[in-house]
Amino acid sequence: MPEFFANIFNVEYLLNSLPYMGKGMLGIFIVTAVIVTVVNALNSLPDKGNK
């Protein structure tokens, strides 16, 4: 690995940050699933007028 690239990209830092990135991505997935579930639940409610 060239010396200039080793100074820019540290594999140890990447491996240490993977758990944090995984938790963040899991959080995004959960929030998206909750939003989709709420929207689907609201769409299944019957219309109440304005005819």
- 9-51 confidence digits (pLDDT tens): 788 888 999 999 999 999 999 999 999 999 999 999 887 766 5
The whole-model pTM stands at 0.67
Instruction: Tell me: pLDDT of 1 over 70.
Output: no
Q: What is the pLDDT of residue 4?
A: 64
**How far is it, in rounded angstroms, from Cα 25 to Cα 7?**
27
Split into its structural domains, the chain has a count of: 1
Alpha carbon distance 34, 36 (integer Å): 5
Residue 25 phi, psi dihedral angles, 5° rounding:
-65, -35
Is 18 contained in some domain? yes
Q: Could you tell me if residue 50 is inside a domain?
A: no
Residue 25 belongs to domain spanning: 3-43
24 found inside a domain: yes
Please give the C-alpha separations between residue 40 and each of 10, 26, 37, 44, in angstroms, as whole numbers. 44, 21, 5, 6
* 51 in a structural domain: no
Predicted confidence at residue 9, as pLDDT, reads 76
**AA letter at 12:** E
